[in-house]
């Protein structure tokens, strides 16, 4: 069976997280821009986003942004330094650790709010 190395997982996750963040960005900008169409238009959608599943989704978006951002930094380090490629595998595990810790901290802050409904 073919087994991908870390670099390929890093690349695939970078693509997927990037495309999902772009999708979120487009929806997010439209939602906030509803302010232009008055308080009612904005509030109708704002209330829908209060549903717990959307709020959990925002935690996932935060995790995706952390991964994409820090893995992007890893790519830039590989591109612009002489030592980056030699430690890219270690850097990737660092990226995963930062993303996971950031995701857990976000969940730690946001999940109680979701459970309490505020």
Partner 1 sequence: MIRARRYQDARAQARSNPELAWWVFMRVSGVVLIFLVLGHIYMTFLLTSELQASYSVVVNQLAQPVWKIYDWLMLTLAMLHGVNGARYSIDDYVQKVSRRVWTKTLVYGLAALIYVLGTMGLFIISKAMLAG
In the complex, what is the shortest distance from the CB of residue 35 to partner 1, in angstroms, rounded to a whole number?
A: 6
Cβ 51 to partner 1, closest distance in Å?
11
Using CB under 8 A as the binding rule, the residues of this chain from 47 to 86 that contact partner 1 are 49-50, 55, 58, 62, 65-66, 69-70, 72-73, 75-76, 78-80, 85
Q: Minimum distance from CB of 55 to partner 1 (Å)?
A: 7
Among 8, 15, 100, 104, binds partner 1 (CB under 8 A): 15
Contact 47, 54 (CB under 8 A): no
Q: What is the distance between the alpha carbons of residues 113 and 95, in angstroms, rounded to a whole number?
A: 27
Q: Can you read off the two tokens belonging to residue 44?
A: 């109708």
């Amino acid at each position: 069976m073919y087994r991908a190395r870390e670099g390929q997982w890093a690349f695939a996750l970078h693509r997927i997280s990037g495309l999902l963040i772009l999708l979120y960005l487009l929806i997010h900008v439209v939602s906030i821009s509803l302010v232009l169409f008055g308080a009612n238009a904005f509030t109708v959608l704002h209330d829908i986003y209060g549903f717990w599943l959307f709020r959990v989704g925002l935690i996932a978006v935060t995790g995706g942004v952390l991964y994409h951002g820090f893995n992007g930094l890893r790519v830039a380090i590989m591109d612009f330094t002489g030592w980056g490629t030699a430690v890219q595998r270690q850097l990737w595990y660092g990226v995963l650790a930062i993303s996971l810790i950031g995701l857990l901290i976000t969940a730690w802050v946001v999940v109680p709010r979701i459970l309490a409904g505020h």
